[in-house]
Amino acid sequence: AGPDRIMLEGGQIVVLASANGTGLQYLWTPVQFTNNPNVLQPTISINRDTSLWLTVTNNVGCVDSSSVKIKVIGSLVVPNAFSPNNDGINDKWVIPLLETYTNCEVLIFNRQGQQIFSSIGYNTPWDGTLKGQPLPVGTYYYIINPRNGRSRYTGWVQLIR
């Protein structure tokens, strides 16, 4: 059923299951947490820690099953500093688990209120640049809209070199 996963409450993830064989049929239970209980890697939406079971049946009737645990974290933890100095440590503003809010909006502004970064989803974390040019050391302000019924997150992040 794949490795255990962690996600944010109100988010969604894809289960990373794998199977080999011919004529395989899949069934995930409980079915109400999946977008499709009959595919190998469904999208999961849950709001509490849950174990999901995958049952696989091949074309001659052999059956195997496995489980995966999904841990749900209640709220986003947003780091307030990063150092994009190309030393390989904290070079991007990585917000743990934000990718589980697949449709979130992230906006970053400078002190003058100019928007310097925006994204829908957060698959590519902000690297401290604007149009490919490094921004100066300073405080920047963010708005993160989960777009899933949860409240917006606002705050500041310090860019350090």
Structure confidence by residue, pLDDT tens digits, 108-126: 999 999 999 999 999 899 9
The pLDDT of residue 149: 83
At residue 75, the pLDDT reads 84
Edge-to-edge strand order for the sheet containing 105-109?
A: 81-82, 153-159, 138-145, 105-109, 115-120
Pairing of strands 153-159, 138-145: antiparallel
Confidence check: pLDDT of 44 > 90: yes
**DSSP 8-class letter at 95:** -
User: Tokens standing for 23?
Assistant: 């004529």
Q: How far apart are alpha carbons 31 and 52 in whole angstroms?
A: 9
pTM of the model: 0.77
Determine the average pLDDT of the residues in 82-107: 94
Question: Residue 150: what pLDDT?
Answer: 86
